[in-house]
Chains A and B, each alone.
Chain A
C-alpha cells in the first residue's frame, strides 16, 4: 500500500477517506438489514455472525499461527455447557455465565495448547482431536447423569425487565460481539503478537532465533482462540435456548475448518466470507433439493454432506487461496484491464 507515508497512517485502521466511506456504507447496510429482513433471513444473518466469531478465532490459530486444531467443536461445547450447567444448577444470569465460559475457554485453550509444545503438525491436530472426544464425553456424561434427557433448556438472557429474545435484538448483540472479535483479530494481526505468530507459522526455528518466545506465543494463540470460541459457544447456547451434546459432532469442527479454507487461509475477511459460505450452503442445497425427485428430498442432509465434501475438495484442489484468492484475482484482472497497476 503506497498511500501510507507516516507511522500514524500505518497505525490507523481506517486511514484513508475511501476506507472511511466504505466503512460507513458497510455500517449503514449492517444496521439497516434487520429492519428490512424477514425473520428467516434474520436468523440466517445471526447464524452467520455467530459462525464468524468462531471462524475468526480459528483463523487466528490456524491461519496466523499455523497451529492446526481439530478441537473447535469441543471448545464450542465447553462454552455452551458452561452456560447450560450454570443456568441449570444455579440459575446464573448471563453476566456470570459469559465470563465463566470465557475463563473456561482460556483454561481449555491452555490444555489444548500444551501438546503443541512437544508436537507439530498432524500430531498436534490429533491430540486436539483426542481432547475433543474427552470434552464431548464429559458433556454427554453430565447429560446422561444429571439431566436424564437430551439437552438442557436455557432461558433467554435478561437484564432488569428487558429480555433478549427477538431476532432483531439478537442481531445487534451478535453484531457487536462479531465486531469486537474482528477488531481483536485485526489488531492482533498487526501487532507484535501477530508478527510473532506469522514468524512461528513460517518456520519455528527461525522464529526462536529471532528472539520470539515460541512456547509462550503458541500457548497464547491457543488461549486467545479458545476463549473466543468458548464465548461463541456460550452465545450459541443462549441464542438457541437449548444445549445438547449431539450438536457438537466432529462434523461441526470440519465445517469450521472448511470456513477458513474456503474463505482463504490466513485472511481475516476470508474467515468472514467462509463463515457466510458454509452457513448459507445447506440452505442453497435445500433449495436445489426441492427440485429433485422426492427420493433425494428425504435425505437432504446426506446430499448436504456429499455436496459439502465436493466443494471442500474443489477448493483444496483448485483454489487453495479460497474465496479471497478468487477476489484478488478478479480485482487484479479488472485493474489490469483498466490500465491501473494492481494494488
Chain B
C-alpha cells in the first residue's frame, strides 16, 4: 500500500469521523437517530455558498457566519420539529428525520438548483496540493479537514467532560428522568445537542465544499458516515474515530484494488458485519441495544 493511499485513507477517515460526531451527539443525548444528517450537512455547505456570495471579500466573516447558521439550523430543527417527538416512539422520530431529509433535498434544489458551486473560487482561493511526505500530496482543504477533525474532537471531549453544559448533556443522555428532577432543562439540552451536531456537520460540509465544490448529491456522504458511527458504537466519540478508520480503509482499499463501484456499498457491508457480530459496536455500551 503506497503512502498516497494512506494519506487518502486519513482524509476520508477525518471526513467520516467529523460527520459521525453529529450522529453520536444526538443519539447519545436523546436516543434519536437522525437520518437527515447528510442533508443537514449539505445545507451547511450551501450556507457557505450563500455567505460567500455576500461577503466574497472577507472569507473569514463568510465562514464564521455560515458556521453560526449551521449551529442555529440544528436548534431550529429541534425546536420546530423534534421537540414534539420527545416521548413518542423512537420510530416516529426517525421517520420525521427521514421526511426532513427529503424536504431539505427538495428545498436545496429549489433554491440553488442542481448546479455545482465552488465557494473557494468565490474567495479566490486555489486549494493547492500540499506535499506532506515525499511523493504524497493532499489538497489544502483536505489538510484543513484533518486538522479541524482533531480540533473538533478535542473540543467536544473537553466540552462533554469539563463544562457545565457538557455534564448536563451526559446526564440527560444517561437518565433523562433523574436529570430533569435535578433541574436540568431537557429541551434546552436536546436543542443544544442538535445545534452542536449540525454545527460540526456544517463545518465538514463547508470544508468539503471548499475542497471539491458542493452539489445536491453531497448528502450521500453523510449517510455513508453513519456506518462509521455505528461500527464504533453509537454513543462513543472515540469509537467513531476507530469506526471511521475501519470504514475508510475498507472503502479505499475496495476502490483501489477491487472495483470503484463498491464505494457506496462497502461502508454498509462493514456495518452489516459489525451488526452480525457485535451489534452494539466496538466501544458502545451493551445495554443501549434494548433501549432502541
> Does A associate with B in a complex?
yes
Q: Which residues of A line the B interface, CB within 8 A?
A: 68, 115, 118-123, 125-127, 129-131, 133-134, 136-137, 140-141, 144, 251, 254, 257-258, 261, 296, 299, 301-310, 312-313, 316-317, 320
Q: Is the CB of B262 within 8 A of A302?
A: no
| 7 new A-B contacts at CB < 8 Å, known A134-B272, A303-B106, A316-B92 | A121-B292, A127-B272, A137-B264, A254-B98, A302-B110, A308-B103, A312-B102
Can you list 15 residue pairs at the A/B interface with Cβ under 8 Å?
A118-B275, A120-B292, A122-B90, A126-B230, A251-B102, A258-B99, A296-B110, A299-B113, A302-B110, A305-B103, A306-B105, A308-B106, A310-B103, A313-B96, A316-B95
Please give me the residue from chain B that is nearest to A66 by CB atom.
B91
B45-81: CB near A (< 8 Å → 1, else 0) gives: 0000000000000000000000000000000000001
Chain B residues whose CB sits within 8 angstroms of the CB of A68 once the complex forms: 91
B6 within 8 A of A: no
Q: Which residues of B line the A interface, CB within 8 A?
A: 33, 81, 84, 90-92, 94-96, 98-110, 113-114, 226-227, 230, 259, 261-262, 264-265, 268-269, 271-272, 275-276, 279, 289-290, 292
Please give me the residue from chain A that is nearest to B91 by CB atom.
A68
Q: Is the CB of A121 within 8 A of B100?
A: no
A127–B92 CA distance with the chains assembled, in angstroms: 18
Q: Is the CB of A130 within 8 A of B103?
A: no
From DSSP, what is the main secondary structure of chain B's interface residues?
helix
Cβ of A187 to closest chain B Cβ, rounded Å: 27
Chain A residues whose CB sits within 8 angstroms of the CB of B91 once the complex forms: 68, 121-122
Please give me the residue from chain B that is nearest to A125 by CB atom.
B94
User: With contacts A122-B90, A309-B106 known, is A261 near B95, CB below 8 A?
Assistant: yes
Please give me the residue from chain B that is nearest to A120 by CB atom.
B292
Q: Which 5 pairs of residues, A with B, have the shortest CB-CB distance?
A: A309-B103, A305-B106, A306-B106, A302-B109, A312-B99
Q: Is the CB of A134 within 8 A of B265?
A: yes
Cβ of B291 to closest chain A Cβ, rounded Å: 9
Chain A residues whose CB sits within 8 angstroms of the CB of B98 once the complex forms: 254, 257, 312
Cβ of B274 to closest chain A Cβ, rounded Å: 10
User: With contacts A137-B262, A137-B265 known, is A313 near B230, CB below 8 A?
Assistant: no
Chain A residues whose CB sits within 8 angstroms of the CB of B90 once the complex forms: 121-122
Q: Is the CB of A313 within 8 A of B99?
A: yes
Chain B residues whose CB sits within 8 angstroms of the CB of A308 once the complex forms: 102-103, 106
User: With contacts A68-B91, A130-B275, A137-B265 known, is A316 near B99, CB below 8 A?
Assistant: yes
Q: Is the CB of B264 within 8 A of A254?
A: no
Q: Is the CB of B101 within 8 A of A309?
A: yes
